[in-house]
Amino acid sequence: MKREHLLILAIVAALVAWPLLMGNYAVAQANRAMIYALAALSFSLLAGRLGWFSLCQTTFAGISGYTVAILGVRYGLPFPLVVLLALLLTTFSAVIFGLLTVRSRKVSFLMLTLALGQMVWALSFQWVDVTGGYNGIAGVRMPVYGGVDLNDTRIFYVMVTTVTVAIFLAMWRLYRSPFGLLLLGIQENEQRMRALGHPVALARFSAFVLAGAIAGVAGVFLVYDMGIMSPSPLGLGHAVWVLTAAVLGGYRSLLGPAIGVAILITLETLVAQYTDRHMMVIGLVLLLSILLMPRGLAEVLEQRFKRKSKPQASVTTTTRGE
């Protein structure tokens, strides 16, 4: 069995053990972490593969969350339909945003996603009739099926974990597929990819829409986790938080964004117990870690991993794909 398969098994085992060993608070924290790991994965798919830094991935999560809240609470549509429509609408938004951004380069891409994100954020508190303004829409809950309350922290954990693991596994395949390789090729040598006969714009656009859809999934879980949808998850603060987590963990690797989110949430929880100035402490930790590990924690771990294993054909792909 390959090392990476062992790693996957270990992660799955840990995720199964967590709710059995830990209390409700820790399970709830894990739920939140996995939701943000999906958002950070969505960011990293674009940043790591294409060199595109997006500030609107949390916006897609927000669009998804609002759709769930509005259709579920206001219109009382059934849960599966609500989720389906939320994902469809988010993907559709990603198609529109993608058409607007696909020709842009690094800095203009960042600025365009910032502008689009801010526009939707403004809409979310100004379009009061639909979104409920700053108060948002409260009472967003999952249904109870046959006596099983899907809102129960541990039941919710099972759902979030299953979906998150499935998405990460799918991305694991994608990162090592010819498509994933092509995205890296586009980041490093776009002109050459075109000359080799690859549809560069289509590949970029597809990655963008896919990343938007992943953020949409995160948004569905986020709104049910919070029970309320308000403008704050669409704000710049959240976008930057996700970016920070991805950079801290290492957005070039698959597990980096998840590691970054886990560290950031753990730090916030720990530091908040001791001091009110927790943002300062966290800022300091971030500063140090980015100075010491500019490529993120995941790649530091990979280097160790690589040094211990024998050089072989699959090592390079393993390490970058992880």
Residues at the interface with another protein (CB under 8 A):
173-174, 176-182, 184-185, 188-189, 191-200, 202-203, 206, 311, 313, 316-317, 320
For residues 153 and 206, which CB has a smaller minimum distance to another protein in the complex? Answer: 206
Instruction: Give the nearest distance from C-beta 214 to another protein in angstroms.
Output: 13
Strands (E) located in 134-238: 137-138, 144-145, 148-149, 228-229
For residues 191 and 273, which CB has a smaller minimum distance to another protein in the complex? Answer: 191
Nearest alpha-carbon partner for 123 in 57, 76, 68, 62: 62
Instruction: Give the nearest distance from C-beta 50 to another protein in angstroms.
Output: 13
Task: Give me 39's structure tokens.
Answer: 């958002």
228 phi/psi in degrees, rounded to 5: -145, 145
Nearest alpha-carbon partner for 60 in 50, 49, 52, 68: 68
CB count in 10 Å sphere of residue 105: 10
For residues 176 and 238, which CB has a smaller minimum distance to another protein in the complex? Answer: 176
For residues 238 and 320, which CB has a smaller minimum distance to another protein in the complex? Answer: 320
Instruction: Give the nearest distance from C-beta 183 to another protein in angstroms.
Output: 10
Q: What are the distances in angstroms from CA 76 to CA 63, 67, 160, 228?
A: 18, 12, 23, 15
For residues 7 and 285, which CB has a smaller minimum distance to another protein in the complex? Answer: 7
User: What are the CB-based long-range contacts (under 8 Å, 24+) for 311-317?
Assistant: 314/2, 317/176
Instruction: Give the nearest distance from C-beta 295 to another protein in angstroms.
Output: 12
Instruction: Give the nearest distance from C-beta 237 to another protein in angstroms.
Output: 32
